[in-house]
Amino acid sequence: MNPSSERIVFTGSGIVCGSGATVSEVWARIESGESSIDKFRWERGRVRRYDWDSSNWPCGIAAEVKEDNRTLVPDRKLHKTISRKDMYGIYASEQAIKGSGVLTCRETMTDASRNSFNDRTGLIVGSGGANYHDDYDFLPLIHEAKGDLTGFGRELSNQVTPMWLLRNLPNNVLCHVGIQWQLKGTNACITNQCASSPMAVAESASAIINGEADRFVAVGHDSVLEPEHMLYYETLGLLSREIPKPFDASRSGTVFGEGGGAIILEKQSDAVERGAEVIGEFLGFGSTCEATGTVELNPTGEGLRRAIEEALENAGLVPSDVGMICAHGNGTKASDLTEGLAIESVFGGNIPPVTAFKWAYGHLIGAAGIVDLIMTLESLKRGIVPGVSSFSEVDSQLADFPVGRTHTKLEGDVALVICRAFGGLNVVLAVRGARR
């Protein structure tokens, strides 16, 4: 439990994904049961670097971000030194920072006060790993050198941009959001695959509690939307040919999304003092590993059960306090079943309504947890547990599991957000919604 009496609140958020580029836009599509998953077609040009028509691909659907690079990051100089998925993080951060007004007070500060304010403002980013297609910059060179490494080395600087390494640094969003907003305090770039971004939120809150910083921008961004990634996920049997159906008897896999999310964390007393709108409260988190390897999962959900219990204990909650669960619900056979079993083992016969958002905007991988958190806070604010529009019949091994097609009324104001990743990683956040 939080040892200091200081409560940690969320005061602003930003989002971009296939379903939209503002929180209200994404919420509206969720509320109307509309998924942004579809076939897509890339054309070589400013945004995409090769032609790709997904209709030729067996599982060729995704929730693609539609916004142009210039909409996401107006500073065009930056486009040469970052990748498109970095733009999602930079865009979401700007929305969250501006929306929260958390940096506004700097404008009237003396230099000394501003420096110390910046040193006490942290930034933690959950990032994806590398993308295969970033390395395709080397393909023309490999072709020309005909597989000869000596020739490859000699011609390197004539064929490949000097910016190649910088464009592909995993910590680019950390660097550029930091420079843009002068956030100079505690920082990290977390690369825990699908569990990256909830860990960014949890580590930010922990650092405020620990007294390292007074406020944080927590960010997640990712895109695995590229041919090779899609091929390997499909080879592993993880991709669906239709909109994912979390916990459904006929579910057949997940679908890629892409995007970014950002959220501002600060002390409640600071938020009250500056008259900020509070959109939620961080209560606690749990983090566990199943030690099972990349894609295998503990068949009983034991690792996730421990993470849920740890989050409840850390937040000072009992299971009956929870009004809603935002599940990972990626739509794959093994993950959903073990997730359901873990939830059942903690909540017994009194499971609160469960929802999951991947039917709406796909699986955002490194950004999934933080975008789910933002939509969970929106659900809490509106007192609605959104239905899963692709759902029809629950998995027979999860009888009476409370997930459904239609929206249900929320009881209480506390939610759990569950996030799972390759490697058997589980992160669970416990949050309270803003009072309605």
Partner 1 sequence: MNGEGKRRIAVTGIGLVTPVGNDRESTWSALQKGKSGGAQIENFDATGFSTTIGAEVKDFDRENAGPCRKLLKGASRAHAYALAAAEEALKDAGIAPNESDSHRWGLAVGAGMMSVDYDDLKVVEDYATEEGQFCPDRLLSDDFPADPINFCRWQSNAGLTVLAKAFGIRGYATSVHTACASGGQAIGSALKALRRGQCDKVLAGGFDSMLNPIGISGFCLLGALSTDNDNPTGASRPFDETRNGFLLGEGAGFLVLEDWSNATDRGATIYAELGGDGNSLSCYRITDSPPDGDGPIQAIEQALKDAGITAEDIDYVNAHGTSTQMNDRSECAAIRKVFESRIDEVNVSSTKSCMGHLIAAAGAVEAAVCCLAIRDSVAPVNANLQHRDPECDVNLVVNESKSVKIRAALSNSLGFGGSNSSLVFLNPERGEK
What is the footprint of partner 1 within residues 185-244 (CB under 8 A)? 185-193, 195-196, 199, 203, 206-207, 209-210, 212, 227-228, 231-232, 235-236
> Which span (180-188, 247-255, 348-356, 375-383) binds partner 1, by CB under 8 A?
180-188
Among 109, 139, 249, 272, binds partner 1 (CB under 8 A): 139
Distance CA 51, CA 432 (A): 45
Helix axes 84-100, 172-181, angle to 10 degrees: 40
Among 5, 77, 112, 149, binds partner 1 (CB under 8 A): 149
Per CB under 8 A, contacts with partner 1 among 405-434 are: 421-425
Q: Are 323 and 352 in contact (CB under 8 A)?
A: yes
- By beta-carbon proximity to partner 1, the closer residue of 142 and 394 is 142
Among 172, 254, 335, 390, binds partner 1 (CB under 8 A): 172
Q: Are 377 and 417 in contact (CB under 8 A)?
A: no
Under the binding rule (CB under 8 A), the answer on residue 175 touching partner 1 is yes
Under the binding rule (CB under 8 A), the answer on residue 46 touching partner 1 is no
Per CB under 8 A, contacts with partner 1 among 235-294 are: 235-236, 287-294
- By beta-carbon proximity to partner 1, the closer residue of 54 and 100 is 54
> Which span (46-54, 255-263, 332-340, 370-378) binds partner 1, by CB under 8 A?
46-54
Under the binding rule (CB under 8 A), the answer on residue 383 touching partner 1 is no
- By beta-carbon proximity to partner 1, the closer residue of 76 and 436 is 76
Distance CA 27, CA 407 (A): 13
Amino acid at position 228, single letter: E
Under the binding rule (CB under 8 A), the answer on residue 162 touching partner 1 is yes
CA triplet 426, 212, 110: central angle to 5 degrees?
135
DSSP 300: T
Neighbours of 107 (CB within 10 A): 7
CA 79 distance to own-chain centroid: 22
**Shortest reach from residue 198's CB to partner 1, in Å:** 11
Under the binding rule (CB under 8 A), the answer on residue 169 touching partner 1 is yes
Number of residues that bind partner 1 (CB under 8 A): 100
Among 46, 154, 241, 333, binds partner 1 (CB under 8 A): 154
Amino acid at position 213, single letter: A
Selection from 202, 436, 198, 428 nearest residue 319 by Cα: 428
235 three-class SS: helix
Side-chain-side CA neighbours of 297 within 13 Å: the count stands at 23
Under the binding rule (CB under 8 A), the answer on residue 113 touching partner 1 is no
Strand ranges inside 20-120, DSSP E: 41-42, 52-53, 62-63
Per CB under 8 A, contacts with partner 1 among 76-105 are: 81
- By beta-carbon proximity to partner 1, the closer residue of 133 and 358 is 133
> Which span (52-60, 100-108, 261-269, 353-361) binds partner 1, by CB under 8 A?
52-60
Among 70, 74, 109, 153, binds partner 1 (CB under 8 A): 153
Helices (H), 101-209: 111-119, 139-145, 149-159, 164-167, 172-181, 196-209
Distance CA 411, CA 406 (A): 16
> Which span (126-134, 322-330, 332-340, 342-350) binds partner 1, by CB under 8 A?
126-134
Among 39, 75, 140, 277, binds partner 1 (CB under 8 A): 140
Selection from 376, 360, 361 nearest residue 418 by Cα: 376
Helices (H), 316-367: 333-347, 358-361
Under the binding rule (CB under 8 A), the answer on residue 156 touching partner 1 is yes
- By beta-carbon proximity to partner 1, the closer residue of 382 and 422 is 422
b/e per residue, 24-51, with b = 16+ CB within 10 A? Answer: eebbebbbebebbbeebebeeeebbeee
φ and ψ of 11, to 5 deg: -130, 10
Distance CA 29, CA 23 (A): 10
Under the binding rule (CB under 8 A), the answer on residue 7 touching partner 1 is no
- By beta-carbon proximity to partner 1, the closer residue of 231 and 394 is 231
**Shortest reach from residue 270's CB to partner 1, in Å:** 20
Under the binding rule (CB under 8 A), the answer on residue 313 touching partner 1 is no
Q: Which two tokens stand for residue 330?
A: 């990626």
- By beta-carbon proximity to partner 1, the closer residue of 126 and 353 is 126
Among 129, 241, 299, 333, binds partner 1 (CB under 8 A): 129
Length of the chain: 436
- By beta-carbon proximity to partner 1, the closer residue of 59 and 380 is 59
